[in-house]
Each structure stands twice: as C-alpha cells, then as structure tokens.
Amino acid sequence: MPSAYNVLVVDDEVEIQEAIEIYLRNENMNVFKAGDGLEALAILEKEDIHLIILDIMMPRLDGIKTTFKIRESRNIPILMLSAKTEDTDKILGLTVGADDYLGKPFNPLELTARVKSQLRRYTHLGNYKPNEDELRVKGLTLNKQTKSVSVDQEEVRLTATEFKILELLMEHKGRVFSIEEIYELVWKEPYINAENTVAVHVRRIREKIEINPKEPQYLKVVWGIGYKIEK
C-alpha cells in the first residue's frame, strides 16, 4: 500500500475542487486537480493516482466520456459527482465504469467515507500496483525513469547532479546523510574538502523545490550532521 493516497479531483468549478481538497488533505491524502476530462487524462499519464473524483457535466470532455477513456487501460476507482440526481444519470455513470456516485450538494463526511471505502477495496483486493519508478513525499514527486521532478504538479528542472542528490535522499526518507556520504555516493569519488560543493547543490535544490527555502518542508538540514528528506 502507498504511504499516502493520491486523489485526482476533476471538476470545472474551482470552488468545489478546493473544498474537496481541504476535506481530503485533512485525511492526509495528496490531491491533484483538473478542470475537465482532458486535463485529467494528462495528469493520469504523469502521476500515480489511486482514486478519481469525477464530475459528469464538464466542458471539452465530460465525465462519461472521460470514464470511457480511463477504463480502456486503468481500473482506478472512480467516484462520480453530479448536480443531477435522476436515476438515469446514476445508472449511466455506473454502467460506463464508475464505482460509486454522489449527488451535489454532498455531505463532506459522506464524501470522505466513500473515498476511504473505495481506496480500501482498491488496495486490499490487490488491484493496486505501485509505480516503482516514482518517489513521493507530500506534493514532491521524483520519477526515476523519466528523470523528472514536480512539486504540486508543477515541473521542476534539476541538473543531473541535483537530481542524483534528491533521489538519494528520497529513497531513504527520514535518514540523515552526512556531507561526506552524499559526496561519495553521488560524485563516486573520495571526499576531499568538498563540503562547499555539496552545500551549494543542496541550496539550489531547495530554491527549486521549496516554497520558502528558508523554512523548507522537504529538504531539511540536521545541524552538525548533514541533510535528510522529511518523511
């Protein structure tokens, strides 16, 4: 099972996206947001999503057509939302491949309960297969295969050396690495007066992945010892 679930919220109303995000983040879930089906499909190609909350009525590509596309290759749980409450809409949504249906306006407690229920089924029944190429810490994602890094869905460009340092730390979340260890593991050569070299690279990584590098939430310094990625 993943350490934190990734939920994709697809709705053309930003207020609903943000409200659902608040509810789910309170349950320690990572939230990705899209305004229509096309944006949702693009996110699915890049992120390891465990559940989708999908509105039916949307521009460009609606929820029904989006579900058709998703079900061509994925069995991710889909919870459909719609302001319409007629049985025909509910039946249509479930027929094309949705796992559950909730009408708007919805009760936040009911929404989170249904999300948790679907996630339990998905992970416990063995349908979930983690993406072993991806490392995640909250909104920070590193893909070892594509050599890409993103923060809250926004791509971050790192140099090859910066990527190797971040990959090392993310593969061992919570472990403190000394400057000497980082240098020898990343540069593959003996450590000789390279403290400033490592410090400069770490500072650049922080400037790229942290909202406020002076108060980092990901890459932390342990004074007198070294650096770590917070769990």
- Residue 86 half-sphere exposure toward CB, CA atoms < 13 A: 4
**What range does the domain containing 116 cover?**
6-124
Domain termination residue (choose one: 124, 154, 175): 124
- pLDDT for 127 equals 59
In whole angstroms, give the CA distance from residue 79 to residue 50.
11
Residues 144, 222, single domain; the answer is yes
Of residues 1 and 51, more confidently modeled? 51
**Domain assignment present for 129:** no
Q: Are both 142 and 113 inside the same structural domain?
A: no
Domain match, 11 and 112 both: yes
The sign one gets for the Cα dihedral 120, 122, 124, 129 is: negative
Q: Residue range 141-161: average pLDDT?
A: 87
Query: According to the model, what pLDDT value does residue 94 have?
Result: 76
Entry pTM = 0.56
Assess if residue 183 is contained within a domain.
yes
- pLDDT at 181 exceeding the cut of 60: yes
Q: Got the DSSP string for 161-194? A: HHHHHHHHHHHTTT--EEHHHHHHHHH-S--SS-
Considering the domain architecture, whether residues 60 and 116 belong to the same structural domain is answered as: yes
Lowest mean pLDDT among 33-37, 115-119, 204-208: 115-119
Lateral strand order in the sheet of 226-229: 177-178, 226-229, 219-222
- Let me know whether 110 and 145 are in one domain: no
Residues near 127 by beta carbon (within 8 Å), at least 6 away in sequence: 75
74-121: pLDDT as tens digits = 888 999 988 765 566 667 667 778 888 888 888 999 999 999 988 888
Asked which of 97, 124, 151 is the last residue of a domain, the reply is 124
Q: Please report whether residue 82 resides in a domain.
A: yes
What value does the mean pLDDT take over residues 143-161? 87
Average pLDDT of the residues in 172-180: 92
Percent of the chain with pLDDT over 90: 45
Q: What is the mean pLDDT of residues 161-171?
A: 94
Predicted confidence (pLDDT) at residue 182 exceeds the cutoff of 50:
yes
CB 62 within 8 A of CB 54: no
- Per-residue pLDDT at 32: 95
Is the bond preceding residue 105 a cis peptide, omega within 30 degrees?
yes
Q: Are residues 158 and 81 in the same domain?
A: no
> Average per-residue pLDDT in the chain?
86
Q: Are 149 and 209 in contact (CB under 8 A)?
A: yes
pLDDT at residue number 128: 58
The closest of 138, 156, 32, 173 to 147, measured between CA atoms, is 156
Q: Is the pLDDT of residue 203 over 70?
A: yes
Are residues 50 and 153 located together in one domain of the fold? no
Residue at which a domain ends, from 95, 124, 153: 124
Tell me the β-bridge partners of 33. 9
What is the number of domains present in the chain? 2
Claim to verify: residue 14 and residue 120 sit in the same structural domain: yes
Query: Does a structural domain hold residue 19?
Result: yes
Tell me how crowded residue 213 is: count the other CB atoms within 10 A of its CB: 14
